[in-house]
């Protein structure tokens, strides 16, 4: 007789999107090692190769690489400008990767898609990575980049009155906290938050999604703990609302938000809990769970139909927010 855990896992596998299941099987057959078994440099190389295989090429009217001043030195940014005259609304985007891996290149195609589909300038932020740079280095860079965008919108053919923040996974965490910081530090004013399977609570990873999808669904629990250990200075940082925004006492007066989660993702429950907290605080929010999907799916539009659906939803939400801001 199957154990209760084995039965639950078997039932869950049947609900996986067939394309996601095929991807996971390919990864297993290719012996892709878990990130936490590698050095940060090795993990970044593996992630770079995976990203190159899972995205589809897209043309954007203009792409420019810049460096802008930040608290720890120069911050690399990549600026995507769509076809048209402008000035365009702006999305300041922070990539995922557990604050440790990923970069401007791994999220290049996603940013191109959002720029084209939302008809906005996307400023992708190459924030400092852990463990070389611990908390709050990445957050300081993300906030500094948002301030720079607000102060230099004309330089990038953007509209300073229509700025959104966004990101996926750890980048969703940074976007979430930047929105809180902007509120508490009197700016810059933000029109929207695009939060794609965001990290919102690392204080006690004991949700149903953490238990049920801890292994075998791309992002596993061991990787998550390795990312946190690399990013944080000490265990007390886990309780800091600038790391775990779900623990923030006040989530009122924040910009409207779209929270996207994936059904088979350890981060699903904390992302949805954050959306509920926003709604309770009076913030307009929509939360969409993509059934059958795994962590990271939005960057895999070359492989997953649902990724294209997610990009379409995110882009439509941004367009609407920019029209009404």
pLDDT for residue 236 is more than 90:
yes
Query: For 88-127, what is each residue's pLDDT tens digit?
Result: 999 999 999 999 999 999 999 999 999 999 999 999 999 9
Q: Please tell me which residue in 108, 265, 269, 301 is annotated as part of the active site.
A: 265
Helix (H) or strand (E) holding 114: helix 108-118
Per-residue pLDDT band for 6 (boundaries 50, 70, 90) equals: very low
Smallest Cα–Cα separation from 111: which of 123, 102, 129? 123
Reduced to 3 states, what is the DSSP secondary structure of residue 37? helix
Q: Has 237 been annotated as catalytic? A: no
Reduced to 3 states, what is the DSSP secondary structure of residue 264? strand
Q: Please tell me which residue in 295, 299, 301, 315 is annotated as part of the active site.
A: 295
Beta bridge partners of 11: none
For the chain, give every domain's residue range: 4-324
Percent of the chain with pLDDT over 90: 86
For 4, the token pair is: 């209760």
Architecture of the 4-324 domain: 3-Layer(aba) Sandwich (3.40)
Cβ neighbours of residue 299 closer than 8 Å, sequence gap 6 or more: 51, 54, 55, 96, 106, 107, 109, 110, 168, 307
Q: Please tell me which residue in 54, 94, 169, 230 is annotated as part of the active site.
A: 169
pLDDT for residue 213 is more than 70:
yes
Instruction: Among 50-54, 94-98, 174-178, name the one with the lowest average pLDDT.
Output: 50-54
pLDDT for residue 50 is more than 90:
no
Helix (H) or strand (E) holding 247: none
Beta bridge partners of 122: 80, 91
Place of tokens 């985007």: 93
Cβ–Cβ contacts within 10 Å for residue 109, how many? 21
Taking each helix axis from N to C end, the angle separating 170-184 and 137-151, rounded to the nearest 10 degrees, works out to 60
Q: Has 230 been annotated as catalytic? A: no
For 118, the token pair is: 């939302």
For 173, the token pair is: 């965490």
Q: Has 108 been annotated as catalytic? A: no
- Cα separation, 11 vs 178, whole angstroms: 39
């Amino acid at each position: 007789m199957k154990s209760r855990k084995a039965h639950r896992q078997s039932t869950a596998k049947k609900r996986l999107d067939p394309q996601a299941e095929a991807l996971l099987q390919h990864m297993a057959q290719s012996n892709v090692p878990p990130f936490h078994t590698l050095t940060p440099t090795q993990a970044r190389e593996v992630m770079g190769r995976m990203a190159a295989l899972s995205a589809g090429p897209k043309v954007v009217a203009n792409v420019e690489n810049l460096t802008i001043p930040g608290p720890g030195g120069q911050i690399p940014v990549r600026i995507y400008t769509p076809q048209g005259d402008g000035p365009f609304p702006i999305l300041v985007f922070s990539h995922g990767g557990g604050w440790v891996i990923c970069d401007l290149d791994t999220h290049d195609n996603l940013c191109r898609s959002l720029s084209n589909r939302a008809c906005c300038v996307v400023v992708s932020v190459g924030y400092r990575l852990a463990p070389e740079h611990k908390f709050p280095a990445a957050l300081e860079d993300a906030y500094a980049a948002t301030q720079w965008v607000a102060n230099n919108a004309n330089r990038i053919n953007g509209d300073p009155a229509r700025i959104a923040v966004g990101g996926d996974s750890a980048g969703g965490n940074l976007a979430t906290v930047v929105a809180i910081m902007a509120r508490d530090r009197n700016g810059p004013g933000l029109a929207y938050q695009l939060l794609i399977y965001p990290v919102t609570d690392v204080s006690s990873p004991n949700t149903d999604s953490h238990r049920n999808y801890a292994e075998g669904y791309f992002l596993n629990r061991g990787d998550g703990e390795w990312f946190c250990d690399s990013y944080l200075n000490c265990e007390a940082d886990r309780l800091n609302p600038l790391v775990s925004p779900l623990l923030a006492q006040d989530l009122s007066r924040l910009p409207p938000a779209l929270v996207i989660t994936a059904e088979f993702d350890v981060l699903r429950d904390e992302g949805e809990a954050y959306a509920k907290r926003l709604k309770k605080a009076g913030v307009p929010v929509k939360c969409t769970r993509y059934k059958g999907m795994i962590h990271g799916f939005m960057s895999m539009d070359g492989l997953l139909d649902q990724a294209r659906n997610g990009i379409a939803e995110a882009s439509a939400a941004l367009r609407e927010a920019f029209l009404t801001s």
